[in-house]
Amino acid sequence: MSIFPLHLWRRLNAAQIALTGFMLVIMIGVFFLMLPISTNGEPLGFVDSLFTSTSAVCVTGLTVVDTGTRFTFFGQAVILVLIQTGGFGIMTLSTFFLFIMGRRATMRLQDGASGSFLKLSHYSLTFLLKSVFFFTFFMETTIALILFCRLIFDFPFGRALWLSIFHAISGFCNAGFSLFPNSLENYAGDPVINLTLITAIIMGGIGFFVLVDIWDTLKKDADPEKKRISFHTKIVLLMTAILITSGTLLFFLFEQANTFQDLSLGQGFMRSLFLSVTARTAGFNTVATNSLTNTSLLLLIILMVIGGAPGGMAGGIKVTTAGVIMLVAVSKLRGQGTPSLFGRSLSREDLERAVSLSLLAVGLIVAMTMLLLNTEQGGVAYEKSRGLFLSLLFECVSAFGTVGLSTGGTPDLSVIGRLIIVMVMFIGRLGPLTLILTMERRKPPVRMKYPDEKILIG
């Protein structure tokens, strides 16, 4: 007899199945992490096990205990399985969602001249899901081999192999869990470690549909209609390039008089590049986050809110949402009626999705930060709690964006504070996806439209 009766599963829609499935995996993880065999010393309590399991399944990376020393090999293996399960789950759900949208798009756009999801119509859902598993396995294996070739010089064979596998999966899944006490700070100047994990993070967060699109475009025997990169892919690649480049330059500028003052130009650039990439939901760090300037922390918060691309491991509101919001603002400043780019106009439906998702994300972050401020400092005056506001806001945004970066305040959170972060991680991981899925499913026919009215804006 199954844990969840089959007839009840059939009554759930796709969003409810996703939420139920992830909660079930999280609770299984809690059970295993609470076992004495999972930890060194005293067994982990329920709240800390729930926090760790949620962080792993939601590929966040926030921790209340040190992963490398507090957990045994068995416990670390449980965390790695949870990360992999969560990563597969997100990629599978995203691919399924994009496939459904692609089918609907191609039904509406029979001419084949436009539509971001046109190429998905050439593949079956089974093929796409198999491709997700193959691509994930291929990338993680390749990354692990490269890391192993580097770490074998620092550790015994078995230890180097385990570290390589763990960080390869954690990196590609954008989880940010590390077995080193200070994450990757000891390898801040190592080009092999840095460039390998930067590639893993970008490939894991760029979105499977983008990869399919690029693959189709580059194939020699591709049909003429497949030879054009979709509008969606162009937006993702453009926004990714803008965010990585601008983030790298700004971090390099903001930290020149701080953490980079004794570093060479190349060393400072490498740390800036890694910061810019990892902020968009990876969670590794080569520079101690609490040593950064307030300006850099604010920039990190902005990048964490944006996140990666739809269809990938990354969290946040996604680069496409941020791109749509930016296009709307630019079009209004230029006096254009409809936001457009690359010779294509954005649909009203996408504009509404982007605005709704952005407002809900900001509302959630504000509400949860208020709760944290109340539970962690209560009625303490501002002058007696300097720095705590930014620290709690940072933790909340990191949880929402499933990033995992921390200024060091996570282990000091109260029980209620940890439960709040658990809720934010879960909503941040599945909330945007299920919200968009729900909006896509519920489209009642418009039977009546009220007269338009004008109001003053600004």
Distance, CA of 148 to CA of 325 (rounded, Å)? 42
Distance, CA of 126 to CA of 26 (rounded, Å)? 26
For residue 68, what is the enclosing H or E element? helix 67-70
- Give residue 112's pLDDT: 40
Instruction: Find the radius of gyration of the CA atoms of the chain.
Output: 22
- Dig out the tokens for 141 from the structure: 């294996």
Mean confidence (pLDDT) of the chain:
83
Distance in angstroms between the alpha carbons of the first and the last residue of the chain: 60
Distance, CA of 171 to CA of 177 (rounded, Å)? 8
- Give residue 115's pLDDT: 42
Phi, psi torsion values for 344, nearest 5 degrees: -130, 145
Distances (CA, A) of 309 to 94, 117, 254, 317, 394: 10, 15, 26, 9, 21
Is the separation of the CB atoms in 367 and 399 below 8 Å? no
pTM above 0.85, yes or no: yes
Domain extent listing, the chain: 6-440
Taking phi over 0 as left and psi of -120 to 50 as alpha, with beta for the rest, 138 belongs to: alpha
- Give residue 106's pLDDT: 47
Inter-axis angle of helices 14-33 and 415-441, nearest 10: 160
Burial 325-357 (b: 16+ CB within 10 A, else e): bebbeebeeeeeeebebeeeebeeebbebbeeb
From first to last of its 458 residues, the chain has per-residue pLDDT tens of: 445 555 555 565 666 677 778 888 999 999 999 999 999 989 999 999 999 999 999 888 899 999 999 999 999 999 999 999 888 877 777 666 666 555 554 444 444 433 444 455 566 777 777 888 888 899 999 999 999 999 999 999 999 999 999 999 999 999 989 999 989 999 998 999 999 999 999 998 887 778 888 887 777 665 555 567 878 888 899 999 999 999 999 999 999 999 998 888 999 999 999 999 999 888 899 999 999 999 999 999 999 999 888 877 888 888 988 988 888 888 878 777 777 777 777 777 778 888 888 888 999 999 999 999 998 877 778 777 777 888 999 999 999 998 989 988 888 889 999 999 999 999 888 776 666 665 555 555 556 666 766 565 56
